Amino acid sequence: MNISRRQFIKASAAAATAAAIGVSVPKRSYAEGDVDKWVKGACRFCGTGCGVYVGVKDGKVVSIKGNPKAKTNFGFLCVKGFLAYKVMNHPDRLKYPMIRQADGKFKRASWDEALDYVASKFKYFHEKYGKDAVAYYGSGQCLTEESYTFNKLWKGGFGSNMVEGNPRLCMASAVGGYITTFGSDEPVGSYADIEQANCIFLVGSNTSECHPIIFRRIMRRKLDNPGVKIIVCEPRKTNTAKIADLWLPVDPGTDLAVFHSMAREIIKNNWVDKAFIDKNTRVTDGKNTYSFEKYAEFVEQFDPESVEKLTRCPAENIRKAAEWFATSGASMTLWTMGLNQRTRGVWANNLIHNLHLITGNICKPGADSFSLTGQPNACGGVRETGTLCHLLPGTKPVTNDKWRAHVEKEWGIAPGTIDPKPGFHTMKMFDSLGGEDDPNKPIKAMLTSTTNPAQSLPNLNKYVKGMKDAFLVVIDIFPTRTTQLADVVLPAAFIYEKGGVFGCSERRSQLTEKCVEPPFEAKPDIWIAAQIAKRMGLEKLIPWNMDDSMKANEMAWTEYTRVTKDTDHTLYGATYDRLKREPAGIQWPCPSVDHPGTYKRYVRGMDPMFDHKGFLAKFGKQIPSDAKVYFYMDSKNEGKANIWLRPYKEAAEVPDAQYPFYLTTGRVIEQWHTGTMTMRIPEIARAHPNGYVEIHPADASKYNIVTGDMVLVESKRGKSVLPAVVTKTSMPGILFVPWHDQAFDRMINFVCNDAVDPGSKEPEFKIAAVRIQRVSGPVKIEDKVVITDINSAYS
Ligand code: SF4
């Protein structure tokens, strides 16, 4: 198979179109070769959570095809999903534990040597610098059972909340938005709303490339029902924006004003749902509550003409978007990083929820305010298990005395073991990481798994030294930019080599069964966690210390769902046996084994929490018997959602005379995150071999740049040199760079801003002020770059 990017996109479009018109694509399109067995599982990559069948032949995974019964993808997959097996059989897989020696080179070690060494160093740092001197940095790509286990080891074993994960970098603002508006994290509805929506509003999401199977569903809805309106709000005219009925172009970070302006138009035209507003909402600024009239007065300042001047979004487009959204009868918004990776990410989320609340576009079929998550298990693994510095399992804060006491009891540890003070959020954690000779760096060691912070953190120049100087343990399947800074590298098993649960964007948990043995000496994370626990005297806390990863995972899952059984996120009814049987997984809340799972929350008759005695008693809830919609996680216990008065604020950094361009970054359809896996799949690597900078022709001509020229992109923090692609995709004044390239000079995260949202602590990846300079004409650059030599330098 040898396809170009163009051929691939055409093939994907053809598959989507075939699906939309009801033509079935033969299974052979998604699989190759005969197999000994097909094993049910979930895709390893994005947060869509596509169901797959994994084909095994002679003890190797040789093929992947879509699961036609999966309610996420109905049998369809994108290129990443169906070629994922090529990652597993790649010769670059890490094969043995490795320990860095005094000469700076790695040496192969036995598992006992490596684990004894890691445990002894962790003990040393704990004794010398205190319980918070050793941090865990996990991932939305770890299994739920793995995240739960590491979280338990740190918080219940070490008494430390120095626990974070890369979902802080992508979804924390969505979490903040859901909690501040509805009182509880994660969407109200489900993907199934797409097929019932009459207006679909895509904001800060290049859905066609980043969530291609969701995009397929949107396209199918539109093709089957041409009257359905699609609105896209984005600084770039992406493939997603190209199919829209209406594009709302905006300068990065200015969309807050557009959302307020839409609300103003909705109120002015009396398109509000007054009955819903009166019964189910309150207006607040976080300190006081106000009348709805006060909200109407507040948004009055955002008239479309003024907003057009501020944002570059045409006033007529704002008016039209407001009308379509408010009058469709069922409007659904979907968003992802464009809304979240901002210093005002929580506010942006709140303002989208505002539009849904004032029009009553929530809690009914086809109407939802839906955050698409980036990673396959950011929701299930990190958000729901509370594997972040401020949370406990069940997404309750560590500061909650009652919940801490509950978790301590469930974990069988002494009262007071769990620290009531949150640990450091991701950027502070990395800023606090350093060597023993640096008294300003209190974190001396870190264990990181299934993520690549030495390429994925923003403003990398600030954080590399800390990772290099500290004692860094990396669990991964390939050498990466982060293993280049590590002291110990532990080879990990791939999901299909261990099995376990992923929970996707729509509250759906799906079990992947183990398909094959891990190669060489690679091990599941849960085994590594249990072995470290044993060596640190905490074997009783992590009793699932065994070679059988499915058994260990089941024990961890069973305990996790018991600990959280009375929360609004309950998965108590989703036993391992049941998850093995269910073809499409289960959506929480699912309180009992006979419960089918929940399509829509907060609606009587659909949401089981209305009648869940354990939940109501434990959290002191009383739901009036006549309430049809009730936001029961409202902290004031009035069952209301918050309509927020949020002032307009621009990004932390905006263009000026010295740095006259906006830079925004993102993904392309073929590549996943830092490319460590997808860049090793030959078909994908060939289709999209390197990073580049997109420049509008008007800007390119000012700088004498043509496609292929090498261009320096520089911010106050760092620089990158990339080939130019001159295109009208981005508006003038806006540059775009995809961030998957591992080539040092093209790692764009050196340039990105690490300023964080004050509420969510999520950094502003999406917006930086930069300048550009033509460096040369086209040159031959090294492409398809991957780190293959474990002893190579970070340069
Ligand atoms: S859309 Fe996402 S979950 Fe589905 S196959 Fe592609 S990468 Fe996997």
Ligand 1 atom index nearest CA of 44: 8
Q: Is 77 in the pocket of ligand 1 (CB under 6 A)?
A: yes
Query: How many angstroms is it from 378 CA to the middle of ligand 1?
Result: 14
As a whole number, mean pLDDT of residues 427-453 equals 98
Does 2 have pLDDT greater than 50? no
| The pair of three-digit structure tokens given for residue 197, joined into one six-digit string | 């929506």
User: What pLDDT does residue 5 have?
Assistant: 52
User: What pLDDT does residue 26 have?
Assistant: 37
Q: Is 84 in the pocket of ligand 1 (CB under 6 A)?
A: no
Query: How many angstroms is it from 82 CA to the middle of ligand 1?
Result: 8
pTM comes to 0.95
Q: Is 591 in the pocket of ligand 1 (CB under 6 A)?
A: no
Residue 249, strand partner residues = 234
Using CA atoms, how far residue 244 sits from 258, 358, 572, in Å, is 17, 24, 41
As a whole number, mean pLDDT of residues 476-500 equals 98
As a whole number, mean pLDDT of residues 395-406 equals 97
Does 22 have pLDDT greater than 60? no
Using CA atoms, how far residue 450 sits from 143, 170, 245, 412, in Å, is 10, 15, 39, 29
Mean pLDDT score of the chain: 95
Instruction: Encode pLDDT of 584-620 as tens digits.
Output: 999 999 999 999 999 999 999 999 999 999 999 999 9
As a whole number, mean pLDDT of residues 498-512 equals 98
| The pair of three-digit structure tokens given for residue 355, joined into one six-digit string | 């539009």
Whole-number Å distance between alpha carbons of 611 and 154: 35
Does 29 have pLDDT greater than 60? no
For residues 760 and 346, the answer to whether their CB atoms sit within 8 Å is yes
Q: Is 78 in the pocket of ligand 1 (CB under 6 A)?
A: yes
- Packing angle between helix 315-327 and helix 304-311, nearest 10 degrees? 120
* Nearest residue to 514 via CA among 528, 494, 531: 494
Percent of the chain with pLDDT over 90: 94
Ramachandran area for residue 550 (φ above 0: left; ψ -120 to 50: alpha; else beta) = alpha
Q: Is 81 in the pocket of ligand 1 (CB under 6 A)?
A: yes
Among 80, 83, 681, the mutation site with the greatest number of ligand 1 atoms within 8 A of its Cβ is 80
Query: How many angstroms is it from 49 CA to the middle of ligand 1?
Result: 7
Does 11 have pLDDT greater than 50? no
Among 44, 48, 219, the mutation site with the greatest number of ligand 1 atoms within 8 A of its Cβ is 48
User: What pLDDT does residue 688 have?
Assistant: 84
Q: Is 784 in the active site? A: no
Q: Is the peptide bond before 422 cis (omega within 30 degrees of 0)?
A: no
Coil, strand, or helix at residue 45? Answer: coil
Among 9, 12, 50, 63, the mutation site with the greatest number of ligand 1 atoms within 8 A of its Cβ is 50
Does 9 have pLDDT greater than 70? no
Instruction: Encode pLDDT of 764-795 as tens digits.
Output: 999 999 999 999 999 999 999 999 999 999 99
In the set 162, 171, 313, 710, the catalytic residue is 171
Does 714 have pLDDT greater than 50? yes
Does 19 have pLDDT greater than 90? no
Q: Is 536 in the active site? A: no
Cβ count within 10 A of residue 25 = 14
User: What pLDDT does residue 700 have?
Assistant: 98
25 — pLDDT class (breaks 50, 70, 90): very low
Q: Which residues contact 372 (CB under 8 A, 6 or more apart)?
A: 47, 48, 205, 207, 210, 211, 214, 334, 335, 336, 505
- Packing angle between helix 144-152 and helix 549-563, nearest 10 degrees? 70
Q: Is 43 in the pocket of ligand 1 (CB under 6 A)?
A: yes
Whole-number Å distance between alpha carbons of 708 and 724: 5
* Chain position carrying tokens 């030495």: 454
User: What pLDDT does residue 357 have?
Assistant: 98
In the set 65, 71, 80, 565, the catalytic residue is 80
394 — pLDDT class (breaks 50, 70, 90): very high
Percent of the chain with pLDDT over 70: 96
Nearest-CA residue for atom 4 of ligand 1? 50
Whole-number Å distance between alpha carbons of 184 and 673: 28
Instruction: Encode pLDDT of 720-737 as tens digits.
Output: 999 999 999 999 999 999
For residues 479 and 553, the answer to whether their CB atoms sit within 8 Å is no
16 — pLDDT class (breaks 50, 70, 90): very low
Q: Is 80 in the active site? A: yes
3-class SS string, 719-786: EEEEEEEECCCECCCEEEEECCCCCHHHCHHHCCCCCECCCCCCECCCCEEEEEEEEECCCCCCCCCC
Does 440 have pLDDT greater than 50? yes
As a whole number, mean pLDDT of residues 401-426 equals 98
Instruction: Encode pLDDT of 40-81 as tens digits.
Output: 999 999 999 999 999 999 999 999 999 999 999 999 999 999
Q: Is 15 in the pocket of ligand 1 (CB under 6 A)?
A: no
- Packing angle between helix 172-182 and helix 345-359, nearest 10 degrees? 40
As a whole number, mean pLDDT of residues 449-471 equals 98
Instruction: Encode pLDDT of 240-265 as tens digits.
Output: 998 999 999 999 999 999 999 999 99
